[in-house]
Chains A and B, each alone.
Chain A
């Protein structure tokens, strides 16, 4: 749940998602589900020349399993809080 919880806080933020097939998509995170499937809005491909496939796509669903990286802005993360949340997660798993 931790990562789901974390990604939910990124909703409405602009992120760059790099897929395992090397495509990089920049867009506003619209929603995320518990599989960490992502939905991006207003996407643009960082290398449109190379990957024109998504030229006519603005809104895209990305299967969580094919995501390699999600690039975030540093200030989108509250590290102290995240540490606490991580500890909680670890505690609840131990129970």
Chain B
């Protein structure tokens, strides 16, 4: 269906999830809803141990709905040397939910205002 990921198969990819996490893994499989099967899942940045062997999971299925992007990991030599993944302080990525805090209050206010103006109008009509 969606052949876009085909050329990433069996290669190292960087995964960004909707929750804002970032991983490196090998793409083993995918389907049309971007559900992914990945192996050798590790964090993109090893902020704690800094050990390469810090494999989170050997094989894992990731729900397509949690995937934001999947990029082919092809570090240049320089980047490999720099070991950019071992940045200690990992920058955070926002999640994709963009939840507004206390959103319900806003909507409550909106509906209140609406109701208010409605009654006003009704009064005017009368």
- Please classify how large the interface on chain B is, using the bins under 10, 10 to 19, 20 to 34, 35 or more: 35 or more
Q: How far is it, in angstroms, between the C-alpha of A51 and the C-alpha of B84 when the chains are bound? A: 12
Interface residues of B in 5-35 (CB under 8 A from A): 5, 8, 14, 16, 18, 20, 22, 32-34
A56 & B79 in contact (Cβ 8 Å cutoff): yes
Q: Which of B1, B33, B71 is in CB contact (< 8 Å) with A59?
A: B71
- Check if B116 is an interface residue, CB within 8 A of chain A: no
**Interchain Cβ contacts within 8 Å, total number:** 97
Give, as a whole number of angstroms, the nearest-CB distance from A5 to chain B: 17
- Check if B58 is an interface residue, CB within 8 A of chain A: no
Q: Which of A53, A55, A61 is in CB contact (< 8 Å) with B5?
A: A61
A65 & B65 in contact (Cβ 8 Å cutoff): yes
Task: Give the nearest-CB partner of B21 in chain A.
Answer: A53
Q: How far is it, in angstroms, between the C-alpha of A19 and the C-alpha of B4 when the chains are bound? A: 18
B68: A residues at CB distance < 8 A: 19-21, 62-63, 66
Give, as a whole number of angstroms, the nearest-CB distance from A7 to chain B: 12
Q: How far is it, in angstroms, between the C-alpha of A23 and the C-alpha of B4 when the chains are bound? A: 21
B4 & A66 in contact (Cβ 8 Å cutoff): no
A37 & B34 in contact (Cβ 8 Å cutoff): yes
- Please classify how large the interface on chain A is, using the bins under 10, 10 to 19, 20 to 34, 35 or more: 20 to 34
Q: Which of A55, A61, A65, A66 is in CB contact (< 8 Å) with B8?
A: A61
B70 & A21 in contact (Cβ 8 Å cutoff): no
Q: How far is it, in angstroms, between the C-alpha of A31 and the C-alpha of B74 when the chains are bound? A: 19
A57 & B71 in contact (Cβ 8 Å cutoff): yes
7 nearest A-B pairs in the assembled complex, by CB-CB distance = A57-B71, A60-B71, A20-B96, A56-B75, A66-B68, A21-B94, A61-B70
18 pairs, A vs B, C-beta closer than 8 Å:
A20-B98, A21-B68, A21-B93, A21-B95, A22-B94, A35-B34, A53-B44, A53-B91, A54-B71, A56-B14, A57-B14, A57-B71, A57-B74, A59-B74, A61-B70, A62-B70, A66-B67, A66-B69
Give B residues with C-beta under 8 Å from A: 1-5, 8, 14, 16, 18, 20, 22, 32-34, 44-45, 64-65, 67-76, 79, 84, 87, 91, 93-98
